[in-house]
Amino acid sequence: MKTFVLRPAEPERDFEQLAAWFSSIEDERTTEAGLKEWYEKHGQRIIQCVAEDGQGRLSGFYWATRNKREPTQVDFDLFVQPEQRRQGAGRRLYEDLMLAVEAAQAKRLRINVRDTCPEGLDFARRRGFSERSHRIMMALDLETFDDRPYDELIARLEGEGFRFTSMEELGNTEEAQHRLYDLNETTGMETLGASGERSWESFEDFQQSVCQSDWYKPGGQMVVIDTATDTWAAMSAITRLEGNDHAYNLHTGVDRLYRGRKLGQAVKVTALRHARKVLKADSVHTHHNAKNLPMIAIDRKLGYTMMPGTILMEKNLEQES
């Protein structure tokens, strides 16, 4: 076994490498500047460490974040360079992480592992983690996507009194943001396979975490309003993250009272059109809980193809005490 030295990562010294590693283990690119900004804003909730080999070269890291709403829950990433695996770095990092989360009085640990990485899944299972959920990724080539067949559907829905608009057209006012928040929360909690937990602590948390983020583009926050009742019936949020050539469809949801009318398909098409015409993206990525079969079926119909996903693994630390 090699000797590894563990130390906290330093932003100016290490974050360029950490950003590259995050980009390799996640589906979206992480920039050094973005990682530094995130650490500056949320550093009080983050526990992190890097491993160096005998030559002082970075071999791996862990990055753990205490959940904002449930501080006793810790979500983490742990990564070791492929050529330095099975030499003790992963074990040392995990042991140090366990000491750190014990000191933080954590009760639950969670990690997302690639569903195409059997060694990562085995590493987690051997340490007492079990599968909580499976998230799949899907991608659509916008250059070959034909949206014309949906013109008739959107025209029919407009004739029935549905208004297709965006947060930008609505002025991105606080009132509109509040209604977007309500629709996000409701449809998110009701998604098949979801935990039923709220995504944000409050509307103010939603404003800060979403509406004030660099990735939030009001023109890509598509909504459908029932003009007869002024009810927000459906939404589809899309953006293009810094450094990516593809757009990302964050969430598509339909109020339960309006399901079965193909509003999900229609509003998602308006988001895809925005990605192609305004964001100038050549493709779109999205994620789904593997149990959310209705939305997966919609994306398959639109032409999305399946990509590797992640498995959420969880460990209850209270059961070990």
Residue pair 97/63 in contact (Cβ under 8 Å)? The answer is no
Phi, psi angles (nearest 5°) of residue 196: 85, 0
Joined together, the tokens standing for residue 18 give 């950490």
pLDDT at 321: 52
pLDDT at 303: 95
pLDDT at 280: 96
Q: Which residue is it, tokens 């990302």?
A: 248
- The full set of domains in the chain, from first to last, is 5-106 (3.40.630.30), 138-309 (3.40.630.30)
Q: Edge-to-edge strand order for the sheet containing 73-80?
A: 5-7, 46-52, 58-66, 73-80, 108-114, 305-316, 130-141, 283-289, 247-254, 231-239, 221-226, 162-166
Of 166, 163, 151, nearest in space to 236 by CA? 166
Write down the pTM of the prediction: 0.83
DSSP H/E element including 118:
helix 118-126
pLDDT at 29: 83
Q: What CA–CA distance (Å, rounded) separates 126 from 121?
A: 9
Task: Please name the residues in contact with 102: beta carbons below 8 A apart, sequence gap of 6 or more.
Answer: 317
Give 47's strand partners.
64
pLDDT at 194: 61
Residue pair 232/224 in contact (Cβ under 8 Å)? The answer is yes
315-to-77, 78, 121, 128, 187 alpha-carbon distances in Å: 14, 15, 13, 6, 28
pLDDT at 142: 96
Of 28, 34, 54, 15, nearest in space to 112 by CA? 28
Strands (E), the chain: 5-7, 46-52, 58-66, 73-80, 108-114, 130-141, 162-166, 221-226, 231-239, 247-254, 283-289, 305-316
pLDDT at 1: 63
Q: What CA–CA distance (Å, rounded) separates 150 from 217?
A: 24
pLDDT in tens, the chain (321 residues): 678 999 999 999 999 999 999 988 887 788 899 899 999 989 999 999 999 988 889 999 999 999 888 889 999 999 999 888 888 999 999 999 999 999 999 999 999 999 998 988 999 999 999 999 999 999 999 999 999 999 999 999 999 999 999 999 999 999 999 999 999 999 988 776 566 677 788 999 999 889 998 899 999 999 999 999 999 999 999 999 887 889 999 999 999 999 999 999 999 999 999 999 999 999 999 999 998 898 899 999 999 999 989 999 999 998 765
Please tell me the number of Cα atoms within 13 Å of 201 on its side-chain side: 9
